[in-house]
Amino acid sequence: MSVEITWSDDDKDEADKDSLHILPLSVIPLYTKALKSARLIKNSRLEGVVELFGDKDTGSGQVAPEQLYKTFDFSGPRVNDIKLIKALSVLPSYDVYSLRIQLRKMGIEVDDHRGLRLSDKKARQLTHYMMTFTKPLIRSIYGSHQTNILSYDDLLGLFVNPNVAEARKNLAAFAKRLDIEIKDVPEFLRDYGDVYLSLSYYQYCMDENQGRLQEFFKTVDEIQEDTHLKSNHLLIKRCLEVKDRLQATVHEVQDVLEIFKLRTIEMWKDLTGAGFQSVKSLIGAYQTNMGGALCAITVKMNAWAKIFPVVDGTGLFRRAEFVMNEMRQGIDRIQPINYADLR
C-alpha cells in the first residue's frame, strides 16, 4: 500500500501531531469513515487504545482495538482497517519522527516535509533548543556578523538570500565543503533542520517532565521511609521498580541526547556531506527508541499529575496505592535504549 499522508491544519490536529502519545486517525488511510474523527492514544498503562470521544466534561471514551468490531463494520475492504489499527496500537510512540519510520515499515509512504512534521507553533517553541545546532551554521556563513534569528525559517532565509558580501563568499565555500552545488544548500539546510529539530523536540519533552519526575521520585522516597508503609515489603518493592525503571529511562534519554550533541560538535570540526549523512543516519536509528522512552515518561507523568496536581505532603497512602495499582501497570513495556555502540 502506498499512500501519501497529509495533516489537517486545524488547531486540535496541530496539538495532537505535536504529541508523543496521540495519533489522529484522520491521517491514516482507513476505509471506515466513522473512525476518521477518532484518535489512537496511549492510556496510563501504556496501551494503545482508540479514543472515540474525549473532553473534560464527558471524559474519555476508549475502546481496545480488538473490540472495535463490536461498534464498527469491518466487512469487505474495511477488514484491513482493524489490522492496521492493531499494528499502530503497539507502536511505542506516536511522535512524528517515530511515525515516519514505523509507517514506512508498514508500507505507508509519507512526505517528511509536508505530512509528518511538527506544527509551526511547536517549531518556534523549540527555537531556543535549536540554537545549539544552528550557531555552527551561522558562524560558517556569517562569521561574527550579527543576525536576528527567531526561528529555523529565519535561518533558511539567511542562507537562501544572503545580503552580506562575505556571507555569499562563505556560502560558496560551504557548498564546496559539502560537495554540493550552491543551489542545493537550502535542501541540505532543511534536512539538517529536520534532523536537529527532532533532537530539540526530544530534549524539550525531557525538560517538560523533569519537575513532575522529581516530585514522583520524592514521593517514592517518602513512601519508603514512612513508618506505616515501609513494613509493606511488596508495596516498597513495586514502588521502587517503577522509580528505578523511570530513572533508568531518564538517564538513557539524557545520555543519548548528550552523545548526539558531542557527535555534532565533532562533525562541525571537519564538516563534510558524508559526515553529516553519517550523523543523520545514527540519529534516525535511535528516534523510535527515544520517542518510545519519552512517550512512556510523558504518559506516566501525565497520569500522576492528573490525580495529584498539587504536592502538599498529604495523602501518602493514596499515592502509594496509585503507584501500586496504576503507575506500575505497563512499566515493563518501556524498552531500554541500548546505546553501547554510541560510546
Residue 336: its pLDDT value, please?
Answer: 95
Q: H/E element holding 39?
A: strand 39-42
Q: How many CB atoms lie within 10 A of CB 258?
A: 11
What's the pLDDT at 150?
65
Residues 185-194: contacts with CB under 8 Å, at least 24 apart? 185/159, 186/156, 186/159, 186/160, 188/273, 188/276, 189/137, 189/155, 189/156, 189/159, 190/113, 190/156, 191/280, 192/133, 192/137, 192/276, 193/130, 193/152, 193/155, 193/156, 194/112, 194/113, 194/117
Give the rounded percent of residues in the chain with a pLDDT score beyond 90.
65
Which pLDDT score, from 0 to 100, does residue 8 have? 47
Average pLDDT value for the chain: 88
DSSP characters over 276-341: HHHHHHHHHHHHHHHHHHHHHHHHHHHHHHHH--S--S--HHHHHHHIIIIITTTGGG------GG
Determine the average pLDDT of the residues in 229-238. Answer: 96
133 in Cβ contact with 200 (< 8 Å):
yes
CB of 62 closer than 8 Å to CB of 41: yes
Q: How many residues does the chain have?
A: 343
What pLDDT sits at residue 249? 98
Spatial neighbors of 279 by CB under 8 A, at least 6 apart, are: 195, 260, 263, 264, 267
Say if residues 87 and 102 touch (Cβ distance below 8 Å): no
Which amino acid, residue 116?
L
Give the confidence band of 11 by pLDDT, cuts at 50, 70, 90. low
> For residue range 98-108, what is the model confidence (pLDDT) as tens digits?
999 999 898 88
127-131, 231-235, 256-260, 310-314: range with lowest mean pLDDT = 310-314
Residue whose cell numbers read 492514544: 41
For residue 26, pLDDT over 90 is answered with: no
The helix (run of H) or strand (run of E) holding residue 48 is strand 48-55
Residue 231 pLDDT > 50: yes
Residue 44 pLDDT exceeds 60 = yes
Cα–Cα distance for residue pair 6/103, rounded to 1 Å: 13
For 70-100, write each residue's pLDDT tens digit.
999 999 989 999 999 999 999 999 999 999 9
Contacts of 324 (CB under 8 A, 6+ apart): 235, 238, 239
Residue 165: per-residue pLDDT: 77
H/E stretch holding 52: strand 48-55
Stretch 306-334: mean pLDDT: 90
Q: Which amino acid, residue 72?
A: F
C-alpha cell at 69: 468490531
